[in-house]
Amino acid sequence: MKNLPAHLLLATAALAFTSASADIVETRTFVVGTDIADIQDPPASFLQTITDSNIGYITKVVVGLNLVGRGDGGFAGEMFVSLNKDLSITSILANRVGVGPGVPIGQSYDGWRVTLDDDASTDLHLWTQDTGVLTGTFQPDGRELPTDSLRPELLELFDGGAANGNWRLNVGDLEQGGTMSLESWSLTITGTVPEASTYAAGAGLIGVVGAFCLRRRLG
């Protein structure tokens, strides 16, 4: 068989190295079924520990939230929801939606069956409806205070970390009246798999090909 040209050998080696880091997607759903008490501040914390993920470098996190009213219904504008990783990084998913400067009372609808994604077109905090359970895909809130305009705490804060660890969904009902129940939530994590052996093999292959090319030039 005819030998490949040196530049094609190098390209093949580089491809073998980079293809090992292609994005993968892992989705995990957590069933809870717990009512959130009125004036639940600090928020109730729901811990999920991930130990078997293949993702060592996160490139995207998406959250599914199924938090809906019980009995006399919920009141979305009373709720605070955040996601924390390893008691370190926190993203704010909902912070008294609808409250703003000069607007002390938030949205009155009955909860969420939503997907929260930084790349969605609509900000959850700004969505308005009177009743019912909100569905669809929205940007998370991201506001440290409900009256803020800046949104520094979106899900992109988790980018660059590993998927394994302690993930906590924190849910608080900050006012009296109405009861929400956390039925379930989910994490969809996209990222790469930086396996040391794979990277070493890829780097080794490139080194071998490079040495071969050097010998060809010197020979």
Q: How confident is the model at residue 214 (pLDDT cuts 50, 70, 90)?
A: very low
Q: Has residue 44 got a pLDDT over 90?
A: yes
Across the range 90-105, mean pLDDT stands at 95
Q: Has residue 211 got a pLDDT over 80?
A: no
Out of 18-32, 96-110, 136-150, 167-181, least confident range: 18-32
**How far are the Cα atoms of 99, 100, 118, 126, 153 from residue 148, in angstroms, in the given order?**
10, 7, 18, 12, 12
The CATH fold assigned to 23-191 is Jelly Rolls (2.60.120)
79-85 and 57-70 beta bridge pairing? unpaired
Provide the token pair at 74: 């919920």
Structural domain spans, the chain = 1-20+195-219, 23-191
Percent of the chain with pLDDT over 70: 78
Across the range 42-60, mean pLDDT stands at 96
Residue, of 6 and 190, whose pLDDT is higher: 190
Out of 9-18, 77-86, 94-103, least confident range: 9-18
**In the prediction, which pLDDT does 2 show?**
45
Distance CA 100, CA 199 (A): 49
